[in-house]
Structure 1
Amino acid sequence: MGQMEQVLISVIMPSYNAEKFIVRTIESVLSQGYINWELLVIDDCSNDNTRNLVNNIAQTDSRIRLVVLDKNNGAPAAPRNIGVQEAKGRWIAFLDADDIWHPDKLEIQMNEIHKEGAVFCSSAMLDFTDDRLLSFSKPGDIQVKNISFCTQLRKFRTPTSSVIASRELLLKFPFNEDISYKAREDFECWLRIHEKIGNSIKLLYPLLYYRIVDGQISGAKWKMTLKTYMVLSKYRLISGKGLGWKVFYYVVTQSVYSIYFRIFKKSL
């Protein structure tokens, strides 16, 4: 990758009682071809074996750092914000404690960020239930799509564990820590960011593998629809105006896209 290999990426991983999957998730970071990264595991007061597992791995690799919070926040927004503040890298990548990255994820995205002059980059993803069945192919030419504020409103196809963004941008637009935004704090944050910027891209190749646990999609569809409605109802544009009647339209279209891509395509 030449020059881009010298750019430090800070990987932010919130954790809470993640002992079942976090080792496999960290292994997917260790497997990256792009080696100039640091991993900050921000633990939200786990009461299982999560911290011991992370500490054991950190003893073998100085790039991994465990940050233990003083109190449980009940949602990933605060741990992510703290991770961004603690980060040393110019670029931030997010990864939830049960998801898995393609081994070439960081390298491919940083190449495209450099090529396109982007400050925000996401990728497509695939759902999985058993990581033993995963296989990673070498991608060829990858289609790149520009993502606008309107795209976020209509489709919200920005998986958080696929995102790489500039630290400067994320410091200006932190996640909303209001607990009522839980599970949709990322959607609201990406909306605010995309209303302000014009150089966001999405790579239409699955560099993220999203773990589905115990019927997660079907059981959460209605709850997520209500959360989306709440976020959009409260959202205020730069002008100070709300979205008005468009809220209903965007909630319906997002739900349709979500059902189609997550149920039938097993991807996003």
Structure 2
Amino acid sequence: MNAHVPRLSIVIPAYNVAEYIVPAVVSALDQSFSDLEVIVVDDGSTDDTPALLAKLSEERQDERLRIVRQPNGGLSAARNTGIREARGEYIGFLDGDDLWRPDKAERHVAAMDCDPGIGLTYSASEFIEEDGQLTHRILRPDTLNPSLHEMILRNHVGNGSTPVVRRDCFEVAGFFREDLRSCEDYEMWCRILWLTDAVAIGLPLPLTFYRLRKSSLSFDVDRFVAQADLALEIIQSSMREVPRRLIVRARSEHYRIAARKAVIAGKTDKARSLLAHAFRLRPLMFLTDLRAIAAFVSLAVPEAGLRKVENFILFLRARRA
């Protein structure tokens, strides 16, 4: 008798996330949609991650949970291993320090079942503090049906714990690039929209809890900028029909995003330098882009003030919509 093939595979890359990995895995196993498997790829962790995973596996005795251990190869390599191990029609991703809301899998699968043309779904996220406390701050997608050009301008998928992808997309577009150590997901989503006929659809509900960690790659501003530039070089060289002006706009947008990260990390001088780069590439963005205006204002206010500025910007955007 053949083993049951699950509809959904949830891939959890994990590297030295002992403090967070058990809640992450439990959030995946305890979904309201149960026809799934959870594949944890331990990417050569040197902390207690392997021991905690082994203990959880023993306690849960859940045949849907599989743990794969490999030498450290980076986030893309861990995700790619998970894709190769996955059996589901759909493949979702959950970083080892984030959480899925209990109904996330159910909502994504229902949306994709309704339309075989949907290859990529993603959702809004709620930020949580490093200790897991709710912040009640929501990261919502700018658009719920981005074109290739809109995805090049900005990674509308948001973070690495929101997407669920149809397996066929990886079979056509390939896997995550392992030479990218950041922005690998951004390049992957652009490549799927470029090489396949699939569309991307966003779900407006915050179905993912994104943990704010000061030690995460997101706060390594220099790495983010270098990898974003490299990802855009890859996109420009492979998608030659994409207008050069779009690449320039995308580069300025990445510098703006990096500037905001620098402000949060307390690197004011770095933020000023990045905003200057963005201005040189696209001067009008500071007159037409509310986020760019917020980034400029943030240099003169502390982080608490920055939150108020951003909330006001979100209010203005909602009124305009």
Give the structure-1-normalised TM-score: 0.83
Q: Within 2, Cα distance between the matches of 1:85 and 1:247?
A: 32
Q: String of CA shifts for 1:38-60, please: whole Å, max 9, x gaps.
A: 11111111111111211222222
| Stretch of structure 1 that moved more, 75-84 or 110-119 | 110-119
Residue in structure 1 matched with residue 147 of structure 2 by the alignment: 148
Which one-letter code corresponds to 1:160 in the other structure? G
Q: Secondary structure at the match of 2:41?
A: strand
Task: Please state how far the C-alpha of 1:126 moved relative to its aligned partner.
Answer: 2.1
Change (3 A) 1:33 1:144: farther
Change (3 A) 1:239 1:220: closer
Residue in structure 1 matched with residue 248 of structure 2 by the alignment: 248
Q: String of CA shifts for 1:123-182, please: whole Å, max 9, x gaps.
A: 11122214543399xxxxxx982122112111212122111111221233200011xx10
Provide the aligned C-alpha RMSD in A.
Answer: 2.9
Which one-letter code corresponds to 1:122 in the other structure? Y
Asked if 2 retains the 8 angstrom alpha-carbon contact of 1:229 and 1:247, the reply is no
Task: Please state how far the C-alpha of 1:122 moved relative to its aligned partner.
Answer: 0.8
Asked if 1 retains the 8 angstrom alpha-carbon contact of 2:182 and 2:228, the reply is no
Residue in structure 1 matched with residue 12 of structure 2 by the alignment: 13
Residue in structure 2 matched with residue 77 of structure 1 by the alignment: 76
Which one-letter code corresponds to 1:186 in the other structure? D
Residues 1-268 of structure 1: pairs in structure 2 closer than 5 A: 8-59=7-58, 60=60, 61-69=62-70, 71-73=71-73, 75-117=74-116, 118-130=118-130, 132-134=132-134, 145-158=144-157, 159-172=159-172, 173-178=174-179, 181-196=180-195, 197-214=197-214, 219-236=219-236, 240=240, 244-256=244-256, 259=260, 260=291, 264=307
Larger radius of gyration: 2
Change (3 A) 1:205 1:131: farther
- Percent of pairs identical after alignment? 26
Task: Please state how far the C-alpha of 1:68 moved relative to its aligned partner.
Answer: 1.0
Q: Secondary structure at the match of 1:123?
A: strand
Moved over 6 A (4+): none
Number of residue-to-residue matches in the alignment: 252
Asked if 1 retains the 8 angstrom alpha-carbon contact of 2:126 and 2:135, the reply is no
Q: Within 1, Cα distance between the matches of 2:153 and 2:239?
A: 20
Task: Please state how far the C-alpha of 1:214 moved relative to its aligned partner.
Answer: 2.2
Give the structure-2-normalised TM-score: 0.70
Q: String of CA shifts for 1:19-74, please: whole Å, max 9, x gaps.
A: 111011112112211111111111111111111211222222111111111x221x
